[in-house]
Amino acid sequence: MTCLSISACRRLSATATAVLGPNAAKDLYRDLVRKIKQLPAGGTQQYYKNYTRQVFYNFTEERDPETLSRLHTKARQDAEWVLNKYSK
């Protein structure tokens, strides 16, 4: 898993543990990276990889369980939308 910092990933993971399970943040990030690998090679993959990393970093301090749950749901929906966009 590649985050901007190990401690940032751990904080996000610790917060998500209480809401979504012990490895929810790591599982989500791993799933998103796998989906990114299905996109066209080159700039597209790099853009979404950097974007995903930055979004995870931006929400490392989030503690509200409802917000975390909403973020996880939205991330999965957005990933599906992006995959559909490039699969046409």
Q: pLDDT digits over 26-76, tens only?
A: 899 999 999 999 999 989 999 999 999 999 999 888 888 888 899 999 999
User: Is 60 or 6 the better-scoring residue by pLDDT?
Assistant: 60
Measured CA to CA in angstroms, residue 61 lies from 1, 55, 88 at distances of 18, 12, 37
The pLDDT score that the predictor gives to residue 7 is 59
Measured CA to CA in angstroms, residue 52 lies from 16, 18, 32 at distances of 17, 22, 8
pTM, two decimal places? 0.72
> In the predicted model, is pLDDT for residue 2 greater than 50?
no
**Residue 39, φ and ψ in degrees, nearest 5:** -80, 165
Summarize the confidence of residues 17-30 as an average pLDDT. Answer: 77
CA distance linking residue 77 with residue 6, whole number of Å: 26
